Amino acid sequence: MLKRIYAVFVARNREFVRDRSALAWNLLLPVALVFGLSFAFDGQRDEYTVGVLQAEADIDTSSHPFLATRYVRFVPYADIDEAMLKIERHQLDLLVETGPPVRYWVNPTAAKGYFVELALLQSTSTAGRGVIKEQVTGRPIRYSDWILPGILGMNMMFSCLFGVGYVIVRYRKNGFLKRLRATPLTSLEFISAQIASRLVLIMLITTVVYVGTHLLLDTRMEGSYVTLFIVGVVGAISMISLGLVVSARVTSEELAGGLLNLINWPMMLLSGVWFSLEGTGETVQRISQIFPLTHVLDSARAVILDGATFAEVAPSLGALLLLSAVFLAIGAWIFRWEQY
């Protein structure tokens, strides 16, 4: 059994490595995106972001004139420690508690914090209220620090889904699976070999890209590299398993491409690849939890930016393993060798 799995594993790896264009695309695209976006957006945000310290999920703009300020995005926070961490890293320009009295926290090294503080003081003096100021210091989170896990996760998602889902459909269409069925190879062995092959390739590529960009851009790393690697492995397995569900019965490459894009784009937009989901509606945030990429990126950013331990990201890893088991069970159940 292991010999048969190993034979398919080696054959799939050789097929991928010999496809120079696919190999170059998987290596160069994420690097180009990280460098391009970090050059364009490091230190830039289009609007002011202010945290509002309160227990409620909705912000009552009538509680203070400042909360009605235009061009400021107000985000509620019930946990002051979480909000303070974002102030330290310049992810929030200001944190305010409307009181009375009004109390606010600002990082004196944040340029945007200075201007949004002026707006707060102006509206507070107009309303005739007292104010208490607290200063917070800390190293800012650059856009390249935040976007790197998103780019790597997106590249992993495309490689896993198309590298498994599209390829198996092609095998089925050109009769390769039909010929394999005449061998002692079982469907479980074939699927296991495909998962192992794609997992090894993806983790090698992702590791090379991460190490290269991390060294060249000096991106932040607060946690353990081992924990980050485990997050990548578990995330890759979940997305490979999702690709197997699409490829289990589909016989048309065009249909497979459409179904994979139908999965890819919502996942990419709602998993926090390009922007944080903080401040979005509760419904959107709940929907995002059904996507494996959301759990991968949340865990990776927690390790990289917050120094999260394995125990702290374990719930997300558990969710990924559960999704993988469901996807694999569905894929094995509906899998077929022949086109018809």
Q: What percent of the chain clears pLDDT 70, i.e. is strictly above it?
A: 81
CA 192 to chain centroid, in Å, comes to 25
pLDDT per residue over 108-148, tens digit each? 877 778 888 888 888 877 554 567 777 676 666 677 787 88
Question: What is the per-residue pLDDT for 232?
Answer: 92
Question: What is the per-residue pLDDT for 40?
Answer: 43
Whether the pLDDT of residue 233 is over 90: the answer is: yes
Q: Which CATH number fits domain 48-135: 1.10.10, 1.10.4030, 3.30.470, 3.40.190?
A: 3.40.190
Whether 228 and 300 have beta carbons less than 8 Å apart is answered as: yes
Q: What is the SS3 assignment for 96?
A: strand
Question: What is the per-residue pLDDT for 41?
Answer: 46
pLDDT per residue over 138-149, tens digit each? 666 677 787 888
pLDDT per residue over 169-219, tens digit each? 777 777 777 787 777 777 777 777 878 888 888 899 889 888 888 888 888
pLDDT per residue over 237-260, tens digit each? 998 888 888 877 777 777 777 777
Closest by CA to 328, choosing from 292, 297, 299, is: 292
50-89 in b/e form (b: 16+ CB < 10 A) is: bbbbbeeeebeeeebbbbebeebebbbbeeeeebbbbbbb
Question: What is the per-residue pLDDT for 104?
Answer: 87
Question: What is the per-residue pLDDT for 28?
Answer: 64
Residue limits of CATH 3.40.190 in the chain: 48-135
Whether the pLDDT of residue 57 is over 90: the answer is: no
In the structure encoding, which two tokens stand for residue 116, read together?
């949004």
Q: What percent of the chain clears pLDDT 90, i.e. is strictly above it?
A: 10
106-134 in b/e form (b: 16+ CB < 10 A) is: bbeebebbeebbebbeebbeeeebeeeee
Whether the pLDDT of residue 289 is over 70: the answer is: yes
37: amino acid identity, one letter: L
